[in-house]
Structure formats: C-alpha cells, structure tokens
Amino acid sequence: MAIGSRWTLALVFGYAPLSGGDCEDYLASKGGTIAVSAYALLLSVLLRPHILLKRPDILRIEVGPALLLANDSETHRTRTYQYDFLTESAFGFRGGIEYTRLLTEFLVISMNAGILVFPSGVEYVAGESQTLVSIPVTLGVRFLLMMGGGSDEARTGEGRQVRSFLPRPDAVSANPGWSE
C-alpha cells in the first residue's frame, strides 16, 4: 500500500515447517521411533522507503516489527511431548532491502534479502534465553493488483476506473522520484 510518493507500507506473512528429520533418522538407526512436528509463522508490518524509483527498477529498504508464532512437539509411540525451548510467541525486528523489476504494469520480479532478530526467540526451562536470528533471501514473481478509483483514460484510452501504485507514464516526468 502506497503511503506517499516514495514510501510503501507492507504486511508480510510467512510460514516455515521445521524439520526434525536428522533426529528421526538417528533414532531410527538405533532402533527407535520418534516423529517431530514443528512450524513457525511470521507476521511483519514493514515501512519501505524507496531508495531508487527509476522505471522499471525499484530499490527500497524495509524496517519494522515482527511477530513469531511457533509450535513444536515430538511423538514417541503414543505419547506426545511439547518442546519447551522454542518460544510460542516472540516480538522482534525485521530489516532488509528489496529490488523489484517491473516486467509489465501488473507483473514484477523481485529479490529480497533481510534479517529477522527475535531477542528471546529461544527460552530454556532454567530461565536462560537466546536470540533467534534468521537471514531470509527470496527471489520471486509477483502480480500487482489494481485498486478501484481514479480515471486511467490517458493510459488505457478507455473510460475504465482503475488505479495502481505505479504512476501513469505521462505523470512520470512530473514526479521527481521517477524517470524514464
């Protein structure tokens, strides 16, 4: 969501299954059985000031708070045990940089590199806690959705009412942040 000519507000959601495969394999090699189930959910609200707005390239940094929600357990035979070291919820910080290349008005490729820091992401029974750090790097394709409002006759030649976060080509020269 654009909140100015050079700022974007983003809501980021992520899900990651966590593997216990090494532990399961080790116990299987010793004749035991165990099943590990774990996942992490991430929710971030990011403020993204744009560093470069030179069509078709966008470069922006991103900063904001993050919430980590996790669940983890192991099952041995018929008993399930909850792990106690991965915090069920933790607040932290996300920072990073994102490069976006506009392929069309509605299709972009992007690369994002960042860091997630959760100061008390791991807590042990003895009261000791450790910082949980993640360095995600993402390459992807995104589709831009249009929002209602505003006339776009100059670009489409039609009377449709559409608007995107991208400026119209005829407005590019009037906006000092964009150049052709």
In the chain the domains, ranked by start, together with CATH numbers, are 2-144 (2.40.160.70), 151-180 (no CATH)
Which tens digit of pLDDT belongs to each residue from 47-88? 999 898 888 898 999 999 999 888 777 787 778 877 766 667
Kindly report, residue by residue over 95-153, the tens digit of the pLDDT. 999 999 999 888 999 999 999 998 877 777 777 888 888 898 989 998 877 554 443 43
Supply the pLDDT for residue 175: 41
Highest mean pLDDT among 16-30, 35-49, 162-176: 35-49
pTM for the complete prediction? Answer: 0.64
| Three-state helix/strand/coil letters over the chain | CEEECCEEEEEEEEEEEECCHHHHHHHHHCCCCCEEEEEEEEEEEEEEEEEEEECCEEEEEEEEEEEEEEEEEEEECCEEEECCCECCEEEEEEEEEEEEEECCCCEEEEEEEEEEEEEEEEECCCCCEEEEEECCEEEEEEECCCEEEEECHHHHCCCCEEECCCCCHHHCCCCCCCCC
